[in-house]
Structure 1
Amino acid sequence: MINNKLISNYQHGFMPNRCTTTQLIYTMEKWYKSLLEKSNTDVIYIDYKKAFDSVPIDFLLNKLYSYGIRGKIHRWIKNFLKDRTFKVKIGNDYSDEHSISSGVPQGTVIGPLLFIIYINDVVTRIGQNVSIAMFADDIKLTFSFRNESECHALQNAVNNLVDWNTIWGLNVSLDKTVIFHIGNKNPKFNYYVNNNELPKADIVKDLGVITNNKLTFEEHINHVRNISMLRSVQLLRNIKSTNPKIWGNYFKMYVLPLLEYASPVWNPSLKKSIK
């Protein structure tokens, strides 16, 4: 699938040479361009209810077949997915055994790949004027506009996505799906999923990066600084060694990843943020 470029270019999850940072850079570039052009941008973060666990197995197998995954590989995947069972252990006691009728197994090597194959064709339902970016089951819809009359395009994209979900057995979590308005003169339109008005947010946590609607990242920088300082203090209290090499190793393991995560996206440019 990957070698034959059958996976959508908008998918950044579980793909070679792609990660959360590449997805964030892709969307941030569009948002900054919109601000420079004095346009408004509306973003809708789509959150699914138990996405990996909800995939209908027969639907997935049909999709795999349509992508040319057939024969022994298809039979192996079918055997891997079907007739799975589970039971719960509490202390030394076990519950009755129950069958699993849907979902791709999480924590497996092939599970995430099967999921992104399943969700792959959702991009065909969005429309040309609305941008989509995905990281596994996290979906962002972005639409930039100058005229208020254009905003129906984003609502149409949401409606089409909901229709796709209905066909393929996935459900949107209304509590976690939010609207993010960017632009000083943004009219802040309402958007709906099945006639339910979606909540709005001025600050969002986007793949681990806290973003405000001015795209300044002040909240994220403060968060990273505070948690890095806290972790550094914890190291000072608990590590008794005076060996600089040991200190350096602990810093690289426990503090540096916090400072470096997605830093190309939020790297501070304002003097007050650098301080």
Structure 2
Amino acid sequence: MKITVFKQRKDCTDGSLDTANELNKFFNRFSSGTNPASSSPVPSQSDIPSSSDPTFSCHTPALLSSNAVMDSSGSINLSSTKSGDAAAPFTSPSHLSVSRSQVKRQLERLNRNKAAGPDGVSPRVLKACAEQLCGILQHLFNLSLAQEKVPVLWKTSCLVPVPKKTRPSVNDDYRPVALTSHIMKVLERLLLVHLNKQTRTYQDPLQFAYRHGVGVEDAIIQLLQPIHCHLDKAGSTVRVMFFDFSSAFNTIQPDVLCQKLQKTQVGASTIAWIKDYLTNRPQFVRLKNCTSNQAISNIGAPQGTVLSPFLFTLYTSDFQYKSETCHLQKYSDDSAVVGCIRDGQEAEYRELVERFVAWCGNNHLTLNVNKTKEMILDFRRNRVESNTVSIMGEELEVVEEYKYLGVHLDNRLDWRKNSQAFYKKGHSRRHFLRTLRSFNVCSKMLQIFYKSVVESVISSAIVCWGSSIRSRDLKRLNSLIKSLVLFWGRLWNCWRR
């Protein structure tokens, strides 16, 4: 059923082997000392190394637990283990280990509609057979953690180029999203719980991404609260610099990350496992029906995996700054420096910017100067023109408006541009409701569609701007919501003051 009149544009990529190899080489450009586009083809399922291969030592049958029994056909069976008992893991007290119940719980949480990874194992099978597979996978996971090795097939990535723009023209217009093994994702989720506990005191309190209980709204409020408080004072201005990184996840240095983890409570064995997880990662690009040759990546963390976002936050946690007048806050790789300036005293703000830029260079994070912007907020009648800030010899552009974490900020803080953008999005989605109504869709389904597709857009981060919106914009949005709600037969005003 088609509810839009959208005509899909012709893809700019030709889907040839040369294009796929070129993209794979570009995505792997940060890895030094490797052959980014080897002539070896991508291994099929029949080419998986046997258990005698040291890289796949996690599959060595001789190390199976004593709970494994041999059935009449001669195959190994761990399903005879009682549901309340955990298969004895091959581990030592100094190594991290997981339990049978933990593995089973994660298997049951898998999304069965996700595509299979390079190993060809469907999450539908893993979820349906969680009871039968949890003991086997528990043993393999503990064996991997104890030996500080990750099977090559588990860390192999199938990169799918996702366009950043409507009409991509160069390789940099594509974002590499990795499809990896779902078995590996189960292990990553189990490890993530332990890492989060062990690094809690090391994490940046002003990092709002990938943390339980905080999110986008908290980051925006943290940005706005000191701005509003400071601008109430006489002779006050605020300068905000929004930093943009080039391929932030792809530039993580495993050795540097491991050195930083040594300062936390993470064990040496787990750190060694993380280093093996990030290095010698085979990757290939799938473009339409074409698959590129394999490349080996030793730099960066693949986008689309479970651990990569959290590892990036740990990678950037050693640079923290917060004072009464300046602070640095982060949401994943979206970083912002806020400087509250009084009587033109900008020394602390400029020094913080210089220190952060130098830290980025020392940690191999590449700043995109062209996309790094600065906004100056000054409500005085007689404004004093501020001197521009330069980064790496280039003057930064001072903008009147900037889209930060989905909301449109402007230097007047009246939310006019943000209201216009949200109204435009909500108005464009009204056509979808009309089309669904013409298909005689029930009111309950229309309500679900409205809440998930329309309301989620209009009310995004409403706690940050709901009390500051102009009366005219409020009435406009309120009128739009009334017209939308009437489509399922109920008149409802959720914007009543």
Q: TM-score range by the shorter chain?
A: over 0.9
Compared with structure 1, are the counterparts of its residues 188 and 75 closer, same or farther at alpha carbon in structure 2 (3 Å cutoff)?
same
For the residue of structure 1 that corresponds to 2:296, the secondary structure is strand
Aligned match of 1:255? 454
User: 357, 367, 381: which one pairs with 1:162?
Assistant: 357
For the residue of structure 2 that corresponds to 1:67, the secondary structure is coil
In the alignment, structure 1 residue 109 sits paired with structure 2 residue 109: no
In the alignment, structure 1 residue 193 sits paired with structure 2 residue 388: no
Contact 2:403 2:409 in 1 (8 A): yes
How many correspondences in the alignment?
273
How far 1:246 sits from its partner (Å)?
A: 1.7
Contact 1:85 1:98 in 2 (8 A): yes
How far 1:119 sits from its partner (Å)?
A: 0.3
How far 1:238 sits from its partner (Å)?
A: 4.0
Amino acid at match of 2:446: W
* In 2: Cα distance, 1:242 partner to 1:133 partner: 45
Aligned match of 1:71? 268
TM-score scaled to structure 2, two decimals? Answer: 0.53
Aligned match of 1:120? 317
For each residue in 1:219-251, what CA deviation from the matched residue of structure 2 results, as whole angstroms up to 9, or x when unmatched?
A: 111111111111021221244125211211111
* In 2: Cα distance, 1:29 partner to 1:266 partner: 12
Contact 1:127 1:157 in 2 (8 A): no
Contact 2:245 2:367 in 1 (8 A): yes
1:40-51 → structure 2 map (5 Å cutoff): 40-51=237-248
Aligned match of 1:177? 372
1:229-240 → structure 2 map (5 Å cutoff): 229-239=427-437, 240=439
Contact 1:12 1:18 in 2 (8 A): yes
* Contiguous gaps of at least 5 residues in structure 1: none
Contact 2:262 2:268 in 1 (8 A): no
Compared with structure 1, are the counterparts of its residues 213 and 91 closer, same or farther at alpha carbon in structure 2 (3 Å cutoff)?
closer
How far 1:41 sits from its partner (Å)?
A: 0.3
How far 1:70 sits from its partner (Å)?
A: 2.2
For each residue in 1:127-183, what CA deviation from the matched residue of structure 2 results, as whole angstroms up to 9, or x when unmatched?
A: 7742111101111101111222x1132221111111111211111100110010001
Greater C-alpha radius of gyration: 2
In the alignment, structure 1 residue 55 sits paired with structure 2 residue 55: no
How far 1:40 sits from its partner (Å)?
A: 0.4
Compared with structure 1, are the counterparts of its residues 53 and 8 closer, same or farther at alpha carbon in structure 2 (3 Å cutoff)?
same
For the residue of structure 1 that corresponds to 2:212, the secondary structure is coil
Aligned match of 1:152? 347
Amino acid at match of 1:220: N
Amino acid at match of 2:341: F
* In 1: Cα distance, 2:254 partner to 2:230 partner: 41
Tell me: higher relative CO, structure 1 or 2? Use CA pairs within 8 A at least 6 residues apart.
Answer: 1
* In 1: Cα distance, 2:357 partner to 2:227 partner: 24
* Contiguous gaps of at least 5 residues in structure 2: 1-194, 476-497
Identity of aligned residues (%): 21
Compared with structure 1, are the counterparts of its residues 127 and 250 closer, same or farther at alpha carbon in structure 2 (3 Å cutoff)?
closer
How far 1:92 sits from its partner (Å)?
A: 4.8
* In 2: Cα distance, 1:171 partner to 1:107 partner: 21
How far 1:88 sits from its partner (Å)?
A: 2.5
* In 2: Cα distance, 1:250 partner to 1:30 partner: 37
User: 292, 303, 306: which one pairs with 1:95?
Assistant: 292
For each residue in 1:86-132, what CA deviation from the matched residue of structure 2 results, as whole angstroms up to 9, or x when unmatched?
A: 123345543332111211122122111100000001215x8774211
For the residue of structure 2 that corresponds to 1:86, the secondary structure is strand
Contact 1:44 1:179 in 2 (8 A): yes
Compared with structure 1, are the counterparts of its residues 57 and 251 closer, same or farther at alpha carbon in structure 2 (3 Å cutoff)?
same
Aligned match of 1:241? 440
Compared with structure 1, are the counterparts of its residues 222 and 145 closer, same or farther at alpha carbon in structure 2 (3 Å cutoff)?
same
* In 2: Cα distance, 1:210 partner to 1:199 partner: 17
* In 2: Cα distance, 1:165 partner to 1:246 partner: 49
For the residue of structure 1 that corresponds to 2:302, the secondary structure is coil
Aligned match of 1:131? 327
RMSD over aligned CA atoms reads: 1.8
Aligned match of 2:407? 209
TM-score scaled to structure 1, two decimals? Answer: 0.93
In the alignment, structure 1 residue 83 sits paired with structure 2 residue 268: no
In the alignment, structure 1 residue 36 sits paired with structure 2 residue 236: no
Contact 1:40 1:186 in 2 (8 A): no
